[in-house]
Structure formats: C-alpha cells, structure tokens
Amino acid sequence: MLALCQQALALRCGPPMLSTARPTPEPAAAAAADGGAVLQGEAAKQWLAERGIVRHDMAPQDHDRAGYRSEPVRPKVGGDMPDGPRPGWFHVPAPGGSETRYAELKESLEARRADAGGTKLATVCEEAQCPNIGECWNGGTATIMLLGDTCTRGCKFCAVKTDAAPEPPDETEPWNTADAVANWGVDYIVLTSVDRDASPTAGQRPELRVECLVSDFAGDAAAVRTLARSGLDVFAHNVETVERLQPMVRDRRASYAQSLSVLRRAKDFGNCDGRRVYTKTSIMLGLGETAEEVLRTMRDLREADVDVLTFGQYLRPTERHLAVVEYVTPEQFDYFRREG
C-alpha cells in the first residue's frame, strides 16, 4: 500500500506520487524457487531481511501507535472542540502577494469567468474553503468542480453549498472547463464534481496528467466504467472516514461498501487495452476513529487494489458541521505512513 500521509489542514487535491507496489513473496515459495529448502520462523525472517523485504506480520509492533486514540468516539455537530488553540503544525502561510503564481492563476481565472459572461467556473479550492489553496495554486495544481457549485448531498464535514433541487448545470460548462484545462496555466488539474451525474471533459494536452475526483455515482457500474475508460490518469473517489463513522459523517446515500466497490470497479474497468488507471482515495482523521480502525481501512483499500491513499486532518468549516474530536500529530501521521 502506498500511503501518502500528509500533514495537511484538509484533504489534498494535488498530484499523487505514483508507485507500483511489489507483492511480498512468501519465504517458503521463494526459497523453493531459488532451489533452497523451505524456510520457517527466524530463518524466514532473515531471508526476507537480506532482500530488503519487511512483512507486516513479521515487523515489530508499535503498540503505542504514536499515542493515537484507542477508544472510539462519536463526532457531533455542535460538539465540543479540542481544548486550546489549533496546533502550530496545521498553520500554513497565506496565499502570497501579487508576484506569486497564486495571484497569476487567480487573475487568469477571474478573466475567464468574465469572458464567459459572468458564468462561474467553480473550483473546489474556493467553494470548499480549502486552506491549502495558496500552496496548491502556487505549485501549479488546481481542482475544477463540475456541474455547478451546489451539491444535492449534505455531508456533515463539507463546506460546499447544498440544495435538494439546485439549478440545472450551465450548458456552457464543458467548453469553459476544456478552455481552463488547456489555457489556465496549471501543471496538474483535478476534475471533481458535486453529486450529480458527471461527464468530465479535458483538453488536448497530452503532457497534462488528469485526475478525476468523483462521487460514488450511486453505485452505477456503467458510469464508473465510462469514466474509468475515458482516458484519465487517476480515478479518485474518497471513502472519507472509517467504516464505523460513515453514517455519522457522510450523507445517508453514501456508504463504505459502495465506495470500496467503486474503487475496485474503476481499477478493473480502467486497466484495459494496454492502459493503466491509478486509483486514489483519501481519509479524514480527527473524527474519533481509532488507530485500529484506520489500519483496518488501509487493509480494506489494499484488498480493493487502491494505489494511492492520503490522510488529512478534519477541520470544521462552520459550527453547523461536525466538531473536531482531536488534532492528529505529525508523529501519528508518520505512524500510518510507516504502516502503509
């Protein structure tokens, strides 16, 4: 499992560091293949160590797990927040002055919105109040939100506007999106969407890598197949949290099992005709999950053949959203990175 445990204020939308996982060989089978005897116990561990391989079931166990929670907690809307100020490791610099790349992209985006007659080309960076917008835009990464700026679901962690009956999607959005992909000036672009049926469109820039961060399509396998085979590089769908907390954190129409199924199907559908599609997901921490629940989620994702996993600290957008149960330390993020 490639786990990119990021000490971020919110889930990062940036480009993943892709890696092909190497399956860990069984020492007995591998030794036999080398013409040797079947190895067991300490001899098997030594055989693995000589080849730079560490198996989870043979690695020393970190029982304190960097002080991560062991007792489960239920997060609440309007609940008590952790005592004291927000830890310093979650503070990031402001986007920057007029000479920064952030300022250039901001000016370019506003110009494109004006050229489109005032039509709002939405970015999740702005609509979700992401505190990482300065770092991402200064680094040439941005996320366009398709099908408008209003979602039909009401997850208790998200700052994006919600409405059971939003206005119809802008008919010119596909052209505005393609123009932004081709000419906005970013190096890596993520296409996400509010919860409606989506059909992302990218411009003709072969050197540009495209990640689509999508909903669960209500479990529609045909929609997953269409997107996975559309030519994208990374199919991203977030499970958001551990299984126990799903009904408390996500909209009732989402589920842990459905999200795992979407990720598994995306890999099966996308890997065809000589192409490889990478799958990616993200989890918020600090909502009362235990270390064991996080590790169990990591195992489930590995079984679903997910390539990239990112972690982020949950931050409450408003008092109408779930309270933060705790702030996760850099050492705890690093613990999960090592376990991954």
Contact between 69 and 329 under an 8 Å Cβ cutoff? The reply is no
Tens of pLDDT, residues 307-325: 999 999 999 999 999 999 9
Residue 13 labeled ligand binder: no
Structure tokens at 196: 């409606």
Say how far apart CA 22 and CA 76 lie, in whole Å: 41
Say how far apart CA 257 and CA 246 lie, in whole Å: 10
Which residue type, as a one-letter code, is found at position 289?
Answer: E
Cut 0.85: pTM above it: no
Residue 158 labeled ligand binder: yes
Maximum mean pLDDT: which of 85-94, 97-106, 151-160, 264-273: 264-273
Residue 125 labeled ligand binder: yes
Q: pLDDT band at 39, cuts 50/70/90?
A: low
Residue 130 labeled ligand binder: yes
Number of helical (H) and strand (E) elements in the chain, helices listed first: 11, 9
pLDDT at site 22: 44
Range of lowest pLDDT (3-7, 55-59, 224-228): 3-7
**Residue recorded with tokens 């690093």:** 334
Maximum mean pLDDT: which of 23-37, 73-87, 116-130, 314-328: 314-328
- What is Dmax (Cα atoms) for the chain? 74
Residue 212 labeled ligand binder: no
150 in helix, strand or coil?
strand
CB atoms within 10 A of CB 250: 23
Tens of pLDDT, residues 195-235: 753 333 333 346 678 899 999 999 899 999 999 999 899 99
Say how far apart CA 60 and CA 182 lie, in whole Å: 49
Tens of pLDDT, residues 93-143: 777 776 688 888 888 888 877 876 656 788 888 888 888 888 899 888 989
Q: Mean of the per-residue pLDDT values for the chain? A: 80
114 membership: H or E segment, kind and range: helix 101-115
pLDDT at site 2: 40
CATH level 2 (architecture), domain 2-14+64-339 = Alpha-Beta Barrel (3.20)
